Amino acid sequence: MRESTGGTRQRIQAVALELFTEQGYEKTSLREIAERLGVTKAALYYHFRSKDEIVNSLVEDRLHRMDELIAWAQTQPATLATRRTLIATYADAMFASELPSVMRFFEQNQTVLKSLAAGQQMRDRMLRLAQELSRGDDSPAAQLRAALTLFAVHSSFFVVQQPHITDEERKKIALEVADELLARIADGD
């Protein structure tokens, strides 16, 4: 039975992500990705012409989710309840099944991401999410707290290192820290 085109793209993304994380983006070739998948390089080219396209495809899905979250937040009042819902929804997306490996890739390949359009787009969305988290309080302290709230969710993948901790426990800790920061941002009118 043939695999769907969407399934093939997802397999390519997963294998590329695995190799990028193991070896680094620069040291991984399309040939290696094709070999690990057990397909020809031409078959890989049918879906992705370059490593940049693979990374962009990984980022596009996250950008879409972030855009939906930003659009939702813009329709809500600037209250602590809205902020809590926004960061909880964001954390749920961040802790989705494949995302920890994406986060490891982002952490290990920051210089590559900075040079790709996808990296700049991610940075832009993060800033927009932070703006929504601090909407109603335009103080510099609120802006920093909002950004640190997002960082609390992200950094929990790398900072909370206990071997016995589950992702659910890690997310709970991240949201507790985030809530402490959110509680210090003033509600808007």
CATH of the domain at 136: 1.10.357
Question: Which residue reads 């809205």 in tokens?
Answer: 82
Closest CA to 15 of 46, 61, 51, 65: 51
Give alpha helix (H) positions in the chain: 5-23, 30-37, 41-47, 51-74, 80-94, 99-108, 110-115, 117-134, 140-159, 167-182
Higher per-residue confidence, 122 vs 3: 122
The dihedrals phi and psi of 163, each to the nearest 5 degrees, come to -65, -25
Q: Are residues 130 and 158 in the same domain?
A: yes
Q: How confident is the model at residue 28 (pLDDT cuts 50, 70, 90)?
A: very high
Q: Are residues 165 and 106 in the same domain?
A: yes
- Amino acid occupying residue 122: M
- Amino acid occupying residue 117: A
The pLDDT value recorded for residue 6 is 56
Which of 1-5, 86-90, 151-155, 183-187 is the least confident region?
Answer: 1-5
Q: How many domains does the chain have?
A: 2
pTM of the model: 0.78
Cα separation, 32 vs 173, in Å, equals 38
Q: What domain range is 23 assigned to? A: 1-49
Contact, 60 vs 50, CB < 8 A? no
Q: Is residue 189 part of a domain?
A: no
Q: Are residues 24 and 60 in the same domain?
A: no
Q: Are residues 103 and 129 in the same domain?
A: yes
Contact, 76 vs 82, CB < 8 A? yes
Closest CA to 60 of 9, 112, 130, 132: 9
Tokens read off for 80: 């602590």
The mean predicted confidence, pLDDT, of the chain is 86
Q: Are residues 44 and 55 in the same domain?
A: no
Residues 127-142, mean pLDDT to the nearest whole number = 95
Q: Are residues 143 and 70 in the same domain?
A: yes
Cα separation, 181 vs 176, in Å, equals 9
Q: Are residues 31 and 71 in the same domain?
A: no
Contact, 44 vs 37, CB < 8 A? yes
Whether the predicted pLDDT of 85 surpasses 50: yes
Q: Are residues 23 and 77 in the same domain?
A: no
The pLDDT value recorded for residue 8 is 83
The pLDDT value recorded for residue 189 is 56
Residues 80-104, mean pLDDT to the nearest whole number = 82
Q: Are residues 37 and 56 in the same domain?
A: no
Residues 41-56, mean pLDDT to the nearest whole number = 91
Within 10 A of 24 (CB to CB), how many other CB atoms are there?
A: 13
Cα separation, 66 vs 33, in Å, equals 28
